[in-house]
């Protein structure tokens, strides 16, 4: 009985610790950020599921008598505090919507939604269908015949094409290229960004979700070369799937956010396009989400650990002897007046890539870019806040769609 009481108390303490970490990451420096993210990320986005599961399990154990002892009653108090924190997390998630809208309104103007609504992503395919789950939505919009090979490197160069079944082949729908994250060492095209891809495909867009060569098997700049190769393939082939090669935007989160920003800022850069230097790799807009934009600074939370990670697994060269490699890979060092429109999103409680990195990149862009730079900083959001079908995931999809539709509407006005 004593052992059961101890286990009950330890379990309640662990749940409270996890809920507290979801409210605010407990690790913000060094390698402690990794477990803080690993446990806090799903908790901060799926709090209602944790709450329901914990409450039902507590009911089962209560009927068994686990809370009858002094330790059991203490455990029940800890559970109650955990449940209150999970309710707080869920309410924060739902309440984050205005922060996505404020970032767009500040940059695009108070009437941006009305302007975005005038875009024409595919006139014959606007019928609303609804999306009830990321797995279900992928099966709806992606078929086996829609998986293509965009480059010569086997499974690393595969892409899924998301499109409505009723999209006409001559629809000239706007196109979005999705670059997955994964610390430049995973790069799985499934199941990242499903809420966004579903949302856009449902509205008549063509979306291309790619894989690319990753470390440590491959070495920088293979990652960005593949992204560029994918862009070139899209420009040459997407019309066969009903897409408009003249309207190709790019997005990605985390490492994908870095690659998104770098690709958007370096169209035609020969060092990243070996063997296809003349290919068109420009984009009409870029939406990097919680990206890493500086590869060379060593000041700030987690910077030294990050540089060590790059040296060991990604670049495989020391910054002290190959500093230019790190500078050339940094979007913050590539900003220029002709940058395309940018919409940068970052979570204020990101424990993997601290939010100052997003702020600094936006500031650098705004100092020199002659085009739009929108920024949304989401309070209490962890890294990868758009992954699940949580409220934040849906708000992210809606905000990105409105931004891109605004860009398209503006281009339609200018043409």
- Reported as a pLDDT band with limits 50, 70 and 90, residue 117 is confident
- Reported as a pLDDT band with limits 50, 70 and 90, residue 34 is confident
Average pLDDT estimate for 217-232: 98
Of 113-122, 174-183, 187-196, 367-376, least confident by mean pLDDT is 113-122
- Reported as a pLDDT band with limits 50, 70 and 90, residue 135 is very low
Average pLDDT estimate for 344-351: 96
Q: Residue 12 in contact with residue 78, Cβ under 8 Å?
A: yes
Q: What is the C-alpha radius of gyration for the chain, rounded to an integer number of angstroms?
A: 23
Average pLDDT estimate for 34-45: 89
Beta bridge partners of 90: none
79 is catalytic: no
Rounded Cα–Cα distance for residues 174 and 238 (Å): 10
Of 20-24, 34-38, 183-187, 402-406, least confident by mean pLDDT is 34-38
> In the chain, what is the straight-line distance between the N-terminal and C-terminal CA atoms, in Å?
77
Average pLDDT estimate for 166-191: 91
pLDDT of 22 strictly over 50: yes
pLDDT of 131 strictly over 50: no
For the domain 97-414, what is the CATH code? 3.40.50.1820
Query: Closest Cα to residue 150, out of 275, 248, 238, 272?
Result: 238
| Tens of pLDDT, residues 66-92 | 888 998 899 999 999 999 999 999 999
Residues 383, 386, 390, 405: which is the catalytic one?
383
Q: Residue 190 in contact with residue 160, Cβ under 8 Å?
A: yes
pLDDT of 35 strictly over 80: yes
Average pLDDT estimate for 27-42: 81
Note the pLDDT of residue 130. Answer: 40
> How would you label 334-373 residue by residue, b for 16+ Cβ within 10 Å and e otherwise?
bbeeebbbbbbbbbebbbbbbbebbeebbebbeeebeebb
pLDDT of 120 strictly over 50: yes
Of 85-89, 130-134, 247-251, 392-396, least confident by mean pLDDT is 130-134
Average pLDDT estimate for 13-39: 87
Note the pLDDT of residue 389. Answer: 87
Note the pLDDT of residue 138. Answer: 54
Query: Closest Cα to residue 360, out of 281, 303, 278, 277?
Result: 303
Note the pLDDT of residue 168. Answer: 86
Note the pLDDT of residue 1. Answer: 55
pLDDT of 128 strictly over 60: no
Note the pLDDT of residue 226. Answer: 98
Percent of the chain predicted with pLDDT > 70: 92
- CB-based contacts of 147, cutoff 8 Å, min separation 6: 158, 159, 160, 161
Q: Which pTM does this prediction carry?
A: 0.93
Residues 222, 294, 328, 350: which is the catalytic one?
350
pLDDT of 415 strictly over 90: no
Q: Residue 398 in contact with residue 199, Cβ under 8 Å?
A: yes
223 is catalytic: no
Q: Residue 212 in contact with residue 221, Cβ under 8 Å?
A: no
- Reported as a pLDDT band with limits 50, 70 and 90, residue 4 is confident
Note the pLDDT of residue 125. Answer: 42
Note the pLDDT of residue 122. Answer: 45
- Reported as a pLDDT band with limits 50, 70 and 90, residue 127 is very low
Residues 254, 330, 369, 405: which is the catalytic one?
254
- What average pLDDT is seen over the chain? 91
Rounded Cα–Cα distance for residues 227 and 212 (Å): 7
Note the pLDDT of residue 412. Answer: 84
246 is catalytic: no
């Amino acid at each position: 009985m004593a052992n059961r009481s101890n286990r009950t108390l330890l379990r309640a303490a662990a749940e409270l610790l996890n809920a507290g970490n979801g409210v605010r990451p407990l690790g913000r420096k060094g390698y402690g950020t990794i477990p803080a993210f690993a446990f806090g990320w799903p908790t901060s986005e799926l709090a209602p599921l944790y709450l329901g599961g914990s409450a039902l399990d507590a009911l089962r154990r209560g009927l068994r008598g686990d809370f009858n002892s002094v330790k059991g009653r203490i455990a029940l108090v800890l559970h109650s505090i955990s449940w209150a924190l999970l309710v707080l997390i869920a309410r924060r998630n739902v309440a984050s919507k205005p922060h996505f809208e404020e970032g767009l309104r500040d940059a695009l103007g108070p009437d941006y939604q009305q302007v975005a609504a005038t875009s024409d992503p595919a006139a014959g395919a606007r019928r609303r269908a609804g999306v009830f789950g990321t797995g279900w939505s992928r099966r709806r919009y992606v078929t086996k015949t829609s998986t293509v090979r965009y480059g010569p490197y086997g499974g690393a160069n595969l892409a899924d094409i998301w499109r409505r079944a009723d999209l006409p082949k001559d629809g000239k729908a706007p196109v979005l290229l999705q670059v997955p994250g994964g610390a430049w060492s995973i790069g799985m095209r499934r199941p990242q960004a499903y809420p966004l891809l579903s949302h856009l495909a449902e509205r008549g867009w063509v979306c291309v979700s790619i894989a690319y060569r990753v470390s440590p098997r491959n070495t920088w700049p293979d990652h960005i070369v593949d992204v560029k190769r994918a862009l070139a393939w899209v420009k040459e082939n997407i019309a066969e799937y009903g897409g408009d090669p003249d309207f190709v935007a790019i997005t990605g989160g985390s490492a994908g956010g870095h690659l998104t920003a770098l690709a958007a800022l370096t169209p035609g850069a020969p060092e990243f396009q070996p063997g296809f230097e003349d290919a068109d790799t420009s984009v009409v807009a870029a939406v990097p989400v919680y990206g890493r934009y500086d590869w060379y600074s060593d000041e700030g939370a987690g910077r030294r650990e990050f540089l060590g990670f790059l040296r060991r697994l990604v670049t495989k060269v020391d910054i002290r002897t190959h500093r230019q490699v790190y500078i050339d890979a940094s979007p913050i060092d590539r900003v220029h007046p002709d940058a395309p429109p940018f919409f940068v999103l970052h979570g204020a409680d990101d424990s993997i890539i601290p939010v100052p990195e997003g702020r600094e990149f936006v500031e650098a862009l705004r100092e020199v870019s002659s085009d739009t730079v929108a920024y949304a900083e989401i309070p209490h959001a962890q890294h990868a806040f758009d992954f699940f079908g949580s409220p934040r995931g849906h708000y992210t999809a809606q905000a990105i769609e409105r931004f891109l539709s605004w860009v398209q509407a503006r281009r339609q006005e200018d043409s």
